[in-house]
Amino acid sequence: MAQVTQRVDMATVWGRIGATPEQITAFCERWNIRWLALFGSVLRDDFDPSSSDIDALYEPYVPNQKTVPNSFAVQDALAQVFGGRDADFISVHTLKWRIRSRVFAQAVTLFGEPPPEVIAAQFAYDLIGDEMPKDEQLYIGDMLDNAREVRELAVGKSYADLFSDRMFYLSVVHLIQMVGEAARNVSPQTRSQHLSRSAARFGRNRRAFACGFLPMRRAFTCRYPVQNQLRTYLGIPWQSIVRMRNNLVHGYDRINNEKVWETVTNDIPALIAELEAMLPPKLREEPPPWLR
C-alpha cells in the first residue's frame, strides 16, 4: 500500500530550510533569480532531517535563459543559505516533462511571482485534483525514453560501428546503463506484475545474465495473464536489466560487445513495446508545446 503523506505548514517549512525570507531575497537578487520555490519532501510530513535534501525550483531573471550561468556554484550557494543541507536546484525549463505538471502544481513560492505555466498548473490542480503521474510511472517513463534513444542511435548502424565510432559506442552503453538505473527504482510489486516467465526461470543462473537482457528474445516469447488486469503482458526480465547495468558500470573492462549489440538490435525494441504498454497514453509521448 502506498504511503499517505500530508503537507506541513509554512512555519515548519521555514524551520526545515533554516533560512529567513531576507536571506532568500538576498540570494535571488545576487544570482538573478526571478522566482524561487520549494517542492518535494520538504513540504511533506515524510521529510527526514537526517537524510532528505531540499528540492528547489527556479526561473532565471534573464528572458529566454534556460538556466543561470554557473548553476553548480549557485546550487552550492543555495545549500549554504539552507544551513549546509544538500539542495537540488532545478530550472522550470529543464524539469522532466512527465513530472512538470505535478511539480508546478505543488510548488510553494519563496521569492518572486510564479511563471504563467506554474500558475496554470496550480489552477488545473485546484479544478481536477492530483491526477498527476506516480513515481513508478516516472521510472518506467525514464526507461522508455532511454530505450528509444538507443533505438534512434542504432538506425543505419552495424555491429562494426561499435568499434569504429567511439561516440556511438559510449552513447549506447551509457543509455543502456540508464535503462537499468531506472529499472532499479521500480518496486518489487510492479516488477512482479510485469515479470517474464523466462526471466523468473533463469533468474538464478548468473551465466545467463553475464551481460545482456537475458537474451530477451526468449524472455518475450511467452504471454501470461497478470492478475487483476484485463490485458496480458509479455513480461520484462527486470533482474537481467539491472544486472546488465551493474556489469556495464563495474565491469567496464570486461564488456561483451556482442551482447551489447544483441541488446541494441533485439532486446531494446521488445522492451520499448512492453514499456509503452505499461504506461497510460498521456505518458508515452511528450505532448507538443501548444498542448502542454
Residues 221 and 191 in one domain: yes
**Structural domain contains residue 274:** yes
Q: Clarify whether residues 94 and 194 are in a common domain.
A: no
Give yes or no: residues 111 and 148 share one domain: no
Domain termination site, one of 77, 105, 128: 128
Question: Which pLDDT belongs to residue 226?
Answer: 33
Per-residue pLDDT at 129 exceeds 80? no
| Domain co-membership, 266 together with 174 | yes
Length of the chain: 292
Global pTM value? 0.60
Beta-ladder partners of 109: 37
Q: Give the pLDDT score at 259.
A: 92
From edge to edge, which strands make up the β-sheet containing 54-60? 87-91, 54-60, 33-39, 108-111
Residue 200: what pLDDT? 40
32 shares its domain with 116: yes
Crossing angle of the two packed helices 71-81 and 21-30, in degrees rounded to 10 = 170
The mean pLDDT of the chain is 81
Is position 4 within any domain? no
- pLDDT of amino acid 289: 55
Q: Give SS3 for 38.
A: strand
**Tens-place pLDDT, residues 130-157:** 444 456 788 899 999 999 999 999 999 9
The pairing of beta strand 224-225 with beta strand 232-233: antiparallel
**Is 2 part of a structural domain of the chain?**
no
Tell me how far apart the alpha carbons of residues 58 and 61 are, in angstroms, rounded to a whole number: 9
Residue 49 pLDDT > 80: yes
Domain assignment present for residue 227? The answer is: yes
Same domain, 108 and 28: yes
Q: Largest Cα–Cα distance of the chain, in whole Å? A: 62
Cis peptide leading into residue 289 (ω within 30°): no
pLDDT at 283 over 70: yes
Same domain for 175 and 107? no
CA-nearest of 79, 121, 125, 81 to 97 is 121
For residue 99, the model assigns a pLDDT of: 81
Mean pLDDT value of segment 175-202: 75
Query: How many degrees, rounded to 5, is the angle at CA 282 between CA 276 and CA 285?
Result: 60
Q: Residue 117 is part of which domain span?
A: 10-128
To which residue does cell 539542495 refer?
87
Contacts of 82 (CB under 8 A, 6+ apart): 17, 18, 19, 54
In this predicted structure, the answer to whether residue 15 has a pLDDT above a threshold of 50 is yes
User: Is the pLDDT score of 217 beyond 80?
Assistant: no
Are both 67 and 146 inside the same structural domain? no
Are 264 and 184 in the same domain? yes
Distant-in-sequence, close-in-space partners of 199: CB < 8 Å, separation ≥ 6: 214, 219, 235, 236, 237, 238, 239, 240
CATH number at residue 35: 3.30.460.10
Cβ neighbors of 111 (< 8 A, separation 6 or more) are 24, 25, 28, 33, 35, 36
Say if residue 277 is in the same domain as residue 139: yes
118: pLDDT confidence band, cut at 50, 70 and 90?
very high
Residue 103 identity: V
What is the rounded average pLDDT of the residues 78-89? 92
Say if 270 falls within a structural domain.
yes
Q: Quick one: 21 and 149 in the same domain?
A: no
Residue 228's pLDDT band, with cuts at 50, 70 and 90, is: very low
Question: How many domains are contained in the chain?
Answer: 2
53 inside domain:
yes
Write the pLDDT tens digit of every residue in 230-264.
233 357 899 899 999 998 988 877 889 999 999 99
The pLDDT of residue 254 is 82
Determine, yes or no, domain membership for 61.
yes
CA distance 187 to 137: 11
